[in-house]
Amino acid sequence: MYAIPDRIADRYELTDPISTGGMGQVFRGYDTVLDRPVAVKVIRPDLVTRPDKYPELAARFRREARVTARIEHPNVPAVYDAAVDTDQGMLYLVMQLVRGEPLADLIAEQKPLPIATVAAVAAQMCAALSYAHAVPVVHRDLKPGNVMIADDGTVKVLDFGIAAVLRTDMTRITVTGTQLGTCAYMPPEQISGGGVNPRSDLYSLGCVLFEMLTGRTVFPPEYGPLQQQNAHAYEVPSPPSLLVSGLPEDLDRLVMDLLAKDPEARPASAQDVHDRLVPHLPLPDPTAPDKPLPPGGMPDPTRPYRRPMAPRPRKPVEKPTRPLPPTLVEPTDRFIPGLDPGALSEADAHAQSLIADERYAQAVGVLDEVIDPAASALGTESDQVVELRLLRATALVFGGDAGRALPEFTALADVLERQAGRDDPRALLCRQQAAYCLALLGETTRALRAGEELLVRIREVGGDRSEDALDLRQAIAMWRLRSGDTERAARELGGLYDDLRAEYGPQAPETLQVAELMARLSRRDRP
């Protein structure tokens, strides 16, 4: 085994392993500079066997990574960084983290897949390959495990990071004589050690198509690696139609063309394969209902064709929580399945520390891991869960994710009002944050209406000069300006200025900020 550090280049923190391959491991990571989750592929350190050759190898790695990063396409995860950590002796790629399900899981769940789903997956793979082959880059390891279906149905072809670059002026990182690829999907020319080309990827695509249509690999899974290689090199596969009845004849023929032993007998390009798949793609219907993806459900790769350029899928509507007595307090030592004792307090402290360091996305991730198990065991309105949800909503809004923060603040306000009454300070604060989220999302009219209703309640509880009232009054004035009601906004700013001056003094930052805004409005109104 080889050791992988917890942090690379003093920037990328590695958390959970996602997958392991012959060239290295892929980790779920966190970019501490840009506050976002990433995927980090660490090339195996033990592949670098000669320290005197390490600088040359690192230079080649950078060169290939730059070429790979040129595959700018929605069906290929973006490459963010590729570098060498000289202190650790590591080569690594930092990529877009894809949230979704592997194609292998989709096949296992639904085998064989519906024709429209097969066509949608394969057509999106062809789109990615056509751009890669134009670079030119050959993937060399296409298989269901290297294809992800994102939550919105977009297909992502993974692991271009170790692909072969088809440029004669570039030295490959691949060790001479080493076979990259998986036996069940490897083309004959790759097995024999011959050169690969774009049509090699098309053979592997044919293997994936075969598996989607039939639910099994081209050659029996009982075959060992050597048998698999011999079969791909010499045996003629059975057509998919012999295993599954009712397959369209043209799809059956496409698979067999892709699985031709001679590369020259295969389709000429990924574009040609795409064209033959088009008749089986679902027709666009942007007005059709867009069903939300249920928790744990498999994403639908036909969606990009049925609803082209559509917004991201709606989230499922949550059922109302079961009303709980307002005095219910669950014991802190209650067993929570899936979590260690003390996990909630540890997550709370860890997330607060991350928020203090402005690492909002990572704080949300820490809280996501414990909130659902805690809610299942303790109830969604238990004290512990409510505190964690409040912290998560705060991290979301600080991190700029108003879309997720809005429904959470609204739901928490409802919970706190049921538990502590309509005038509970934290319930009012959640309502206020929800109004701010509406404004951040461009819903100025709704934000203004919510703010005006809330201001009445805040004034009743704390008066016109409470901190919350003053903050909300300024926000409402700004929203009026944004909606074009300049005259009313100017009047409200005048009253706000007087109260800020009386409460904080004439030189307080809050007072000066409103004074400057009023001066700008005054200059704008002059003839």
Cα 485 versus chain centre, distance:
39
Query: Nearest to residue 10, comparing CAs of 87, 80, 93, 65?
Result: 87
Asked if 405 contacts 391 with a C-beta cutoff of 8 angstroms, the reply is no
Q: Which ranges in 135-224 belong to alpha helices (H)?
A: 188-191, 198-214
Q: Residue 155 pairs with which residues in a beta bridge?
A: 149
Residues 483 and 463: their CA atoms lie apart, in Å, by 27
DSSP string, 15-34: EEEEEE-SSEEEEEEEETTT
Amino acid at 167: R
DSSP 355: H
Q: How many residues does the chain have?
A: 527
Instruction: Work out the widest C-alpha separation in the chain, in whole angstroms.
Output: 90
The total of other beta-carbon atoms located within 10 Å of residue 18's CB is: 16
Cα 92 versus chain centre, distance:
20
| Full strand arrangement of the beta sheet holding 155-157 | 100-102, 147-150, 155-157
Burial per residue of 340-351, b for 16 or more beta-carbon CB atoms within 10 angstroms, e otherwise: eeeebeebbeeb
Whether residue 31 lies in the annotated active site: no
Residues 126 and 132: their CA atoms lie apart, in Å, by 10
Residue tagged 């429904």 (tokens): 407
Asked if 430 contacts 395 with a C-beta cutoff of 8 angstroms, the reply is no
Q: Of 31, 35, 141, 151, which one is the catalytic site residue?
A: 141
Peptide bond into 112 cis (omega under 30): yes
- What positions carry a catalytic annotation? 141
